[in-house]
Chains A and B, each alone.
Chain A
Amino acid sequence: MSKQLDAFRANLEEFAANHRNDIKKNPEFRRHFQEMCATIGVDPLASGKGFWSEMLGVGDFYYEIGVQIIEVCLATQHRNGGLMSLEELLQKVRTTRGRSRQAQDVSLDDVMRAIKKLKCLGNGFVLHRLNDGRFMVQSVPAELNMDHTSVLNTAQGTGHVSIKALQDKLGWQKERSMLVMDRLVQEGLVWVDDQDREGRLYWFPGLFPDT
């Protein structure tokens, strides 16, 4: 098999010579490349020692994004409890990368693939999909069950919920709502706001727009 491997390696080198830059600069091409690899059962990001990584530099690109994602999540965890929207994460990663145009060419697809790779490090990196198609990134291993996700979905327009809102919109009993919200407060995923006239509000910092 080693002969075929050498032949393939030569092919890859030629491709890299011509198109290494295209992969770095063009998010669409990058995504197509990843999709094609997936269809044949190859993971170009499996190892930094793989051909793909060595010759095309895809590894360094995505692993660096991985590092930046972890750092952004760590920096904001005290505020949002480890739950933030994917767009906010993308924005912050772009800011970390600097102001050059090349640094900005990180797409949502790139971030999602980097997160997928980070899962094996065991820190509970999970992507949740909300009803409106948006994604939330969870970076701490809290157990978010279906009830928690329903609350997230209810909060997504305004960023907050109240016990009454849960009863009205989801038809939940008061006890169930209180149990779920208490758990979310414990996990640090919501902030309690007692200043509203109508009663206690629970805010999701992870859902705040443009912070």
Chain B
Amino acid sequence: MDRFEWSDGKLKEGETVIKQQGGVKISDGPEKTNFENGLAQLTHSRLIWRSPQNQQSIVCLHLSLVLFVEEMSDGRGKSPKLVLHLQSPRANQPKGPVYSSQHTHIRLGFKEGGANDFNRCLSEVLARKVWEFAPVSRPANQPRKIHAGIVGIERNLEKQRKETDQNISKAFQDLDKLIGKAKEMVELSKKISTKIKDKQGEISEDETVKFKSYLLSLGINDPVTHETHGKGLKYHEELAKQLVAVLQEPIEENGGMMALTDVFCRVNRARGIELLSPDDLLDACKQFSRLRLPLRLRIFSSGVAVLESISKGEDEKVFEAATLLEEF
């Protein structure tokens, strides 16, 4: 904590806040400090912490002093902490809240959450910063760059790691954008779903089916349109027919009954790619009776679900046994 310095909190020219998070507390190594529940701001060069009560109480840490960051889980479902491992303080370290500390790391606690996002931004900034600042300790008469040998290999690995980090940061950014667009789709589908519910009867069945297929594509589960009686999706109907074609014989050989988990494994192992989700399987099986197929889905009171052959199932076996007994 002795690497922190007092600050007036003003941003330098060209400095912008990339990420901020409230409810952040700073620990000096494992020890608590008075710096609790503040606003943590991340810029390209510094981590600034502002006190919630006292406007003047602002400390900051130069990111060049951060060696690396790791997440520390607090167990018990609490939000994880970020551990910032620090270099030793410089000789010309400006005055800070702590004169000297025996700890080489500080911890940030996130009472209001946001640790993951903050870590992501922090790691991104740290990766980039090393590019901007040349290491101060390089001597003026540095010999030519070593490409061979262990140093060369290490340098390459380091370069790859940084590139991967940058790629991953871009991936996270792209993902955020994509999720933003997906959210718009979810909102839109909710509006349409409400319309369908209200205008019951004015929306044609075909349009409802079309809407259902949109929901399926997006992975939105909408109870309003997800009734299983009434016309199901073409996809599930086709799937139901395919399943019967593939499964009827094995099920009959297996005594007329097969557990749904067993069915799931067999079908997906046979397919190899473009596997079925458990929901796909279930939705297809629910179509069996409506399509008058020779298999049916049966759920026991214990919760076990099986596929049963209509001609060779339990009821039929019981009937056969009873008939045999009568003939005796």
Contact = CB atoms under 8 A, between A and B. Distances in A.
Interface in A21-70: 22, 26, 29, 32-33, 36-37, 39-53, 59-60, 63-64, 66-67, 70
Contacts of A50: 216-219
Interface string B236-257: 0000000000000000000000
Contact of B174 (A4, A15, A51): A15
A37 B219 contact: yes
Contacts of A141: 302-304
A146 interface: no
Contacts, number: 159
Contacts of A118: 261, 264, 278
Interface in B257-280: 259-262, 264-265, 268-269, 273-280
B211 A1 contact: yes
Interface residues of B, number: 55
| A interface: dominant SS | helix
A43 B304 contact: no
Interface in B158-186: 167-168, 170-172, 174-176, 178-179, 181-186
Contacts of B171: 18-19, 22, 26, 29
Interface residues of A, number: 51
A198 to B, nearest CB: 34
Interface string B169-210: 011101110110111111011001000000000000000001
B261 A49 contact: no
B163 to A, nearest CB: 13
B265 A71 contact: yes
A19 B275 contact: no
Interface stretch (A93-101, A119-127, A162-170): A119-127
B260 A121 contact: yes
A5 B100 CA distance: 59
Interface pairs A-B: 9 shortest CB-CB: A122-B305, A63-B275, A46-B219, A40-B183, A141-B303, A123-B261, A43-B219, A36-B179, A121-B260
Given A5-B217, A37-B179, A64-B275, 7 more contacts: A26-B171, A32-B175, A33-B175, A46-B221, A50-B218, A117-B277, A141-B302
Interface of B: 75-76, 116, 167-168, 170-172, 174-176, 178-179, 181-186, 188-189, 192, 210-211, 214, 216-221, 235, 259-262, 264-265, 268-269, 273-282, 299, 302-305
Interface of A: 1-2, 4-5, 8-9, 11-12, 15, 18-19, 22, 26, 29, 32-33, 36-37, 39-53, 59-60, 63-64, 66-67, 70-71, 117-124, 133, 141
